[in-house]
Chains A and B, each alone.
Chain A
Amino acid sequence: QVQLRESGPGLVQPSQTLSLTCAVSGGSVRSENYYWSWIRQPAGKGLEWIGRIYTSGSTDYNPSLKGRGSISVDTSKNHFSLRLSSVTAADTAVYYCARGVMVRGLMRLGWFDPWGQGTLVSVSS
Chain B
Amino acid sequence: QSVLTQPPSASGTPGQRVTISCSGSSSNIGSNTVNWYQQLPGTAPKLLIYSNNQRPSGVPDRFSGSKSGTSASLAISGLQSEDEADYYCAAWDASVGWVFGGGTKVTVL
Task: Using CB atoms, name the residue of chain A closest to B33.
Answer: A109
> How many residues in A have their beta carbons less than 8 Å from beta carbons of B?
28
Report whether B45 and A49 are in contact in the complex, using a CB–CB cutoff of 8 Å.
no
Q: Does A63 contact B (CB under 8 A)?
A: yes
Q: Quick one: given A109-B33, A109-B51, are A46 and B103 in contact (CB under 8 Å)?
A: yes
Report whether A111 and B35 are in contact in the complex, using a CB–CB cutoff of 8 Å.
yes
Report whether B32 and A103 are in contact in the complex, using a CB–CB cutoff of 8 Å.
no
> How many residues in B have their beta carbons less than 8 Å from beta carbons of A?
26
User: Quick one: which of B97, B98, B99 has the most chain A CB within 10 A?
Assistant: B98
Q: Quick one: given A109-B51, A112-B35, are A46 and B100 in contact (CB under 8 Å)?
A: yes
CB contact list, B60-109 vs A, under 8 A: 88, 90, 92, 95-103
Say whether chain A's binding surface is mostly helix, strand, loop, or mixed. strand
Report whether B51 and A47 are in contact in the complex, using a CB–CB cutoff of 8 Å.
no
Report whether A62 and B47 are in contact in the complex, using a CB–CB cutoff of 8 Å.
no
Q: Quick one: given A46-B103, A108-B92, are A60 and B47 in contact (CB under 8 Å)?
A: no
B residues in contact (CB < 8 Å) with A: 2, 31-33, 35, 37, 43-47, 50-51, 56, 88, 90, 92, 95-103
29 inter-chain pairs at a CB distance below 8 angstroms, sorted by A residue, are A46-B2, A46-B101, A46-B102, A47-B45, A48-B100, A49-B97, A49-B98, A49-B100, A52-B97, A61-B97, A62-B97, A63-B96, A96-B44, A101-B50, A108-B31, A108-B33, A109-B92, A110-B50, A111-B47, A111-B50, A111-B90, A112-B45, A112-B90, A113-B56, A114-B46, A115-B45, A115-B46, A117-B43, A118-B44
